[in-house]
Amino acid sequence: MSRRRWLVLLLSFAATIGVTAYILSKGLSRPGPHPSLPWWAHLAALTIVCLEIATRSVKIHWSAAALRIPLRFGTSLRVCLAGDFAASITPARSGAEPARFFVLAKDGVAPAPSVLILFAELLLETWSLAALCIVFLFVFHDAGRVLGLMTGMIGGYAVLVLSAGVVGYALARTHAKGPPPSWALAVGLHAGRWRGVQQALRSLRLNVLALRHAAIGPAVAAFIASLVHVGLRLAVLPVIALALDPNLPLASLVLWPLVLLYGGAVAPAPGGGGAIEFGFQFAYEGTMAPAVLGGALLWWRFYSFYLYILLGGLSVGGTVLKALRTQRHGRLHERAAQHADHPTGPA
C-alpha cells in the first residue's frame, strides 16, 4: 500500500472510532444507570466469531472439494482471515479477493483453480443471502421498513451478481478471442484493456463449465455451511443487545445488521469511515435507550469488525500486505503496458 492509502486508512479509522465515541458519550452523559455487558455475553459473542470463521473455512474447503480441487483446511482458514483483514483496510473491501488469491498461490494452488474456488465461494454467498432473505420475509413479515430495505438491497445484489454472470458468460461465447468490437472501443476498452477483459471472460466461462460438473454432496455441504456462517454473523448483535436490554425486538436486531454489514461493504472508505456507525444510530435510536445504543454499537463493532482485523493481522497480516503490494505493482505494469499500446507525445 502507498503512503496515500495508509493516510486514507488512518483517517477513515479515526472517523470510525470518533463516531463511535460520540454516540457512546451521548449515552453516558444521560443521568441514570448505564448497563454493562455481562461476561457471558462476551463469551457468547467470542464463541460466535470463532464458529463463524470456522464455518466459513469449511465452506471454502467443501467448495474446493465439490470442484475436485485438493485444499487443506488450514489453507481455507488462512484464506478467510486474509480476506477479512484485507477487506477491512481497503476501500470498498477491494483488497479481499487479491489477498485470498495470494494466500492460495502461496500454498501451492494454481491460478485457475484459485479463481474457480473464489468464484464458487462468491456464488454460494449470493445464493445463501437470497435464501435467508426469503426465510426472513416469512419469519419477520411485520418488521416494517427494514424488511423492505433488506429485500431490495440483498435481492438487488443477487440479481446484479447473477445478471453479470449471465451477461459475462454470453460475452465469453462470442468475444473471448479477437479484436475489440466497436462498442468496446466506444467505451474506452482499447486493445490493452480488451485483452484483460477477454482473459476474465475466458476464466468465467471455464468457471461456469466447471460448476456444471461439481460434485453434488460437497456442494450441498458448502451451501449449508454458507447459510450457517451468515446466520452466525447476524447472531452477534442479538446476543449483545438482548444482554443489555431483554425487551428489544428480535426482528430489528437480526435484519438491520444484514443491511449494515452487506450494504456497508460498498462504502468507499476502509471500514466504512463512520457510515456504518451512523447507520446503526439511524436504525436503533428510536428503539434503544441512549446508553444501550452506545454500548451495543461499541461491542457489536468490536465483535463484527475490529476482532477480525486483530485475528487477521496476527495470523496473516504480513501475507496480506505483501499481496496488496503485489496488486499495486501489477497495476503499475498494466498502466505501462497500456501506455506502450497507445504512446503519447511526438512521434
Question: Residue 166 is placed in which grid cell?
Answer: 449471465
Q: What is the pLDDT of residue 199?
A: 65
Q: What is the pLDDT of residue 344?
A: 42
Q: What is the pLDDT of residue 342?
A: 47
Compute how many other C-beta atoms are within 10 angstroms of the C-beta atom of residue 261. Answer: 17
- Helices within the chain (DSSP H only): 3-28, 39-66, 73-89, 96-106, 111-139, 145-175, 182-186, 191-212, 216-244, 250-263, 275-284, 290-301, 307-341
Residue 89 has pLDDT above 90, yes or no: no
Residue 317 has pLDDT above 60, yes or no: yes
Residue 238 has pLDDT above 90, yes or no: yes
Integer Cα distance of 266 and 92 in angstroms: 5
As a whole number of Å, the end-to-end CA separation of the chain is 35
- Give 194-197's long-range contacts (Cβ < 8 A, gap of 24+): 196/334
Residue 183 has pLDDT above 70, yes or no: no
Integer Cα distance of 324 and 306 in angstroms: 20
Q: What is the pLDDT of residue 163?
A: 60
pLDDT digits (tens, 9 = 90+) for 101-111: 888 888 888 87
Task: Tell me the average pLDDT across 81-97.
Answer: 85
Residue 149 has pLDDT above 90, yes or no: no
Residue 343 has pLDDT above 50, yes or no: no
Is 218 or 97 the better-scoring residue by pLDDT?
A: 218
Task: Tell me the average pLDDT across 304-324.
Answer: 86
> How many residues would you count in the chain?
347
Residue corresponding to grid cell 505501462: 336
Integer Cα distance of 25 and 3 in angstroms: 32
Question: Residue 249 is placed in which grid cell?
Answer: 425486538
Give the angle subtended at the CA of 133 by the CAs of 132 and 139, to the nearest 5°: 85
What pTM value is reported for the model?
Answer: 0.81
What backbone phi and psi angles, to 5 degrees, belong to 204? -60, -45
Measured over the CA atoms of residue 314, residue 319, residue 322 and residue 324, the dihedral's sign is: negative
Chain centroid offset of residue 55 CA = 15
Question: Residue 168 is placed in which grid cell?
Answer: 459475462
Q: What percent of the chain has pLDDT over 90?
A: 36
Yes or no: say if 324 and 1 are a contact pair by the CB < 8 Å rule.
Answer: yes
Yes or no: say if 320 and 39 are a contact pair by the CB < 8 Å rule.
Answer: no
Integer Cα distance of 54 and 310 in angstroms: 16
pLDDT digits (tens, 9 = 90+) for 184-210: 555 455 566 556 555 665 665 666 666
Q: What is the pLDDT of residue 146?
A: 81
Yes or no: say if 27 and 292 are a contact pair by the CB < 8 Å rule.
Answer: yes
Q: What is the pLDDT of residue 9?
A: 85
Task: Tell me the average pLDDT across 5-16.
Answer: 86
DSSP 8-state code for residue 69: -
Q: What is the pLDDT of residue 339?
A: 44
When the pLDDT of each residue in the chain is averaged and rounded to a whole number, the result is 80
Integer Cα distance of 25 and 125 in angstroms: 37
What backbone phi and psi angles, to 5 degrees, belong to 92? 50, 30
Domain spans of the chain, in order of start: 38-337
Integer Cα distance of 155 and 147 in angstroms: 11
User: Lowest mean pLDDT: which of 181-195, 238-252, 282-296?
Assistant: 181-195
Yes or no: say if 84 and 308 are a contact pair by the CB < 8 Å rule.
Answer: yes
